Amino acid sequence: MTSPSALARRAAPMFACIGLLAVWQVASLALKNDSFPTAIEAIRAIPDILGDKESLINILASLRRMAIGFGIAVLVSIPLGLLMGRSRAVAAFFNPLLMVIYPVPKAALMPIIMLWLGVGDITKTLVIFLGVSLPVIYHSFEGAKAVEEKMLWSGAAMGLSPLQRLVRIVLPAALPEILTGCRTGLVLALITMITSEMIARQSGAGNILFNALDMGQYDTVYAMIIIVGAMGICLDAVFERVRARLVRWSEPQFDMPLSFS
Amino acid sequence: MMPRSLSANVIFGLAPIVLVIALWQGLVSFGFAPVVLLPPPGVVFGRLLKQLVTWTFQQEIAATLIRLFAGFAIAVVLGVSIGIAAAASPAINAIVRPIVRVLAPLPKVALYPALLLLLGFGHGSKITLVAADALFPILLSTYYGASTVEQKLIWSAMAAGTRRYEILFKVVLPAAMPSILTGCRIGLVICCIVVFLAEMITSTDGLGHVLVTAARTFQAVDMFVPLIAISLLGLILNGLLGAVRSYLLRGFPEA
């Protein structure tokens, strides 16, 4: 289990992080640009942000919105995607609508939804929900479509009702694919969260980032970038753990995540 | 049989879109939503048609398209070459894999302030952001496609005396093509989204800028126009890519 090569593979992302930070450090030293602080300066600014109570509350509020939006999106999208995958009629009904919505940047709906619902939590959570649901629907759809017919037939022969078949055969069989969608959705939730907050400048991590940019506090800008990036990497790693546990039987199709925006 | 069921499907699929527009119209005409906040669909589409023929709006679309294509092209070239290199050579794979693992889940939009500071407010920062966001899906699906090429194909090519670098172009690249094109499709949608967002955040032209200007002056009609424009743009580009796909994959079993 912990052979040297496995250990090296596990530590490789860590080395990559250090390597990227080192490249940054050298580049900023070489450029000597006021608006491009060195990596060490940026890292030094992180404790100031995380130590400040107000910004910490802001970041936690962002994360809460993201969790709620992601949770609702997953709960709605997986059943819809599975139904689309198993029923041709449902798929034909929803596919064109989803295709029209897909290229619209969800965060771009912010200004319009803001007009209706105000600048509060509901608007931002709704936008995150919209952003997450499309990839999850898409992957659940693909997963459910690929379920082997024979298993469904056996299930039907043993007297399972259509709903039972959906829950007990299609859902587990499509789970690896669904989780790939959820992973994409997770990255997307983070992106939508940041963008929605920089469009409605009121609170949250995106607000801190872009306020710092406007006020020329460049080390805060870069420190926030590191914080947000670390959030993305940590969430992804945690999700990967959960995924590995849930679908231990299946080989990971993409061991590197597919990012979406 | 086939064309008939296809057209039935098309009508069936158009139904929800028509429903949404009808619901939209209904909300307005029954007075649930004030016209100021939710303009009726007829007005919005009318404004879109009127705008499409004006020179200024065409210029905004052109600005968006230039950034979109430049970013997408960079992402395709880099993504495909890095992906194939990582699949072909274990040494490159060992370097690329951990870096991708770290960079792919990173929300690229958060890098935008840094890109603004480094590259300025012009095309450069936006194209870089678009390319960075579209790069990873293309890279990953290229890598996936190239690393699952059947070994027998490569052996046969080697037995037939093909040189190593020729195998890359003659065997691996064509075999990975379906997967690459799937990645490109995802990348293209991402390009549409990101270019719009970047223009919303800071820009002086482009569709995203049109939306922000309209939002600042509370012109609800003008806010819907760029959104519908980018949706149509995405559909058209997706259709074009589909055409390219069916041309490139002619002869594949299930293209």
What is the per-residue pLDDT across A92-108, written as a single tens digit (0 to 9) for each?
Answer: 888 888 877 877 777 77
Supply the pLDDT for residue B9.
66
Supply the pLDDT for residue A250.
65
In this model, does residue A169 exceed pLDDT 50?
Answer: yes
Is B108 in contact with A261 (Cβ distance < 8 A)?
yes
Q: What is the DSSP letter of B69?
A: H
In this model, does residue A66 exceed pLDDT 70?
Answer: yes
Residue A158 is part of a domain; what is its CATH number?
Answer: 1.10.3720.10
Alpha-carbon gap, residue A145 to A74, rounded angstroms:
18
User: Please, is A25 exposed, middle or buried when counting C-beta atoms within 10 Å of its C-beta (0-12, 13-18, 19+)?
Assistant: middle
In this model, does residue B136 exceed pLDDT 70?
Answer: yes
Is B12 in contact with A92 (Cβ distance < 8 A)?
yes
Supply the pLDDT for residue B255.
42
Best residue in A17, A80, A87, A261 for a mutation probing chain B (most B CBs within 10 Å): A261
Alpha-carbon gap, residue B151 to B157, rounded angstroms:
10
Supply the pLDDT for residue B1.
38
Chain segment B45-65, per-residue pLDDT in tens: 888 888 888 888 888 889 899
3-state helix, strand and coil shares in percent for chain B, rounded to the nearest 5: 85, 0, 15
With tokens 């594949």, the residue in question is B252
Per-residue confidence at A255, pLDDT binned at 50, 70, 90?
A: very low
Residues from chain A contacting residue B231 (CB–CB below 8 Å): 100-101, 103-104
User: Does the beta carbon of A13 lie under 8 angstroms from any beta carbon of chain B?
Assistant: yes
* Residue A75 belongs to domain spanning: 37-246
Supply the pLDDT for residue B156.
84
Best residue in B72, B101, B116 for a mutation probing chain A (most A CBs within 10 Å): B101
Half-sphere exposure of B248 (CA within 13 A, CB side): 16
- The gap from C-alpha B185 to its chain's centroid, in whole angstroms, comes to 6
Closest CA in chain B for residue A200: B201
Closest CA in chain A for residue B130: A261
User: Does the beta carbon of A137 lie under 8 angstroms from any beta carbon of chain B?
Assistant: no
- The arithmetic mean of pLDDT across residues B150-159, rounded, is 82
Taking the CA of residue B249 and the nearest CA in chain A, the distance in Å comes to 21
Supply the pLDDT for residue B5.
58
User: Does the beta carbon of A120 lie under 8 angstroms from any beta carbon of chain B?
Assistant: no
User: Please, is B74 exposed, middle or buried when counting C-beta atoms within 10 Å of its C-beta (0-12, 13-18, 19+)?
Assistant: middle
In this model, does residue A75 exceed pLDDT 90?
Answer: yes
- Work out how many domains chain A is built from and give that number: 1
Q: Is residue A126 in a domain? A: yes
Q: What is the mean pLDDT of chain B?
A: 83
- The arithmetic mean of pLDDT across residues B96-117, rounded, is 82
Cα distances (Å, whole numbers) of residue B212 to A22, B207, B217, B227: 38, 9, 9, 11
Supply the pLDDT for residue B227.
85
Best residue in A20, A196, A259 for a mutation probing chain B (most B CBs within 10 Å): A259
In this model, does residue A50 exceed pLDDT 60?
Answer: yes
Supply the pLDDT for residue B166.
81
Q: Is residue A101 in a domain? A: yes
Is B227 in contact with A104 (Cβ distance < 8 A)?
yes
Q: Is residue A2 in a domain? A: no
In this model, does residue B75 exceed pLDDT 60?
Answer: yes
Q: Which of residues 199-228 of A touch B (CB under 8 A)?
A: 199, 209-210, 212-213, 218, 221-222, 224-225, 228
Q: Is residue A228 in a domain? A: yes
Q: Is residue A173 in a domain? A: yes
Percentage of chain B lying above the pLDDT 90 cut: 10
Per-residue confidence at A4, pLDDT binned at 50, 70, 90?
A: low
Alpha helices in chain B (DSSP H): 2-29, 41-52, 55-88, 90-103, 112-119, 123-147, 151-159, 164-167, 173-201, 207-216, 220-248
**ipTM score over 0.85, yes or no:** no
Number of A to B CB contacts under 8 A, please give it.
184
Contact, A133 vs A76, CB < 8 A? yes
B74 or B199: which leads in pLDDT: B74
Supply the pLDDT for residue A73.
93
DSSP-based three-state secondary structure for A86: helix
Chain segment A99-157, per-residue pLDDT in tens: 778 777 777 788 788 877 877 788 888 989 988 888 888 888 888 888 888 888 888 88
Supply the pLDDT for residue B197.
85
Per-residue confidence at B202, pLDDT binned at 50, 70, 90?
A: confident
Best residue in B17, B118, B139, B193 for a mutation probing chain A (most A CBs within 10 Å): B193
User: Please, is B238 exposed, middle or buried when counting C-beta atoms within 10 Å of its C-beta (0-12, 13-18, 19+)?
Assistant: middle
In this model, does residue A249 exceed pLDDT 60?
Answer: yes
Which CATH number is correct for B41-248, 1.10.3720.10, 3.40.640.10, 3.40.120.10, 1.40.20.10?
A: 1.10.3720.10
- The arithmetic mean of pLDDT across residues A46-61, rounded, is 82
Is A232 in contact with B136 (Cβ distance < 8 A)?
no
Supply the pLDDT for residue B82.
92
User: Does the beta carbon of A239 lie under 8 angstroms from any beta carbon of chain B?
Assistant: no
- The arithmetic mean of pLDDT across residues A180-196, rounded, is 84
| Other CB atoms within 10 Å distance of the CB of residue B106 | 25
Supply the pLDDT for residue A251.
58
Supply the pLDDT for residue A257.
44
pLDDT-wise least confident of A31-45, A66-80, B186-200: A31-45
Q: Is residue A118 in a domain? A: yes
Supply the pLDDT for residue A186.
87
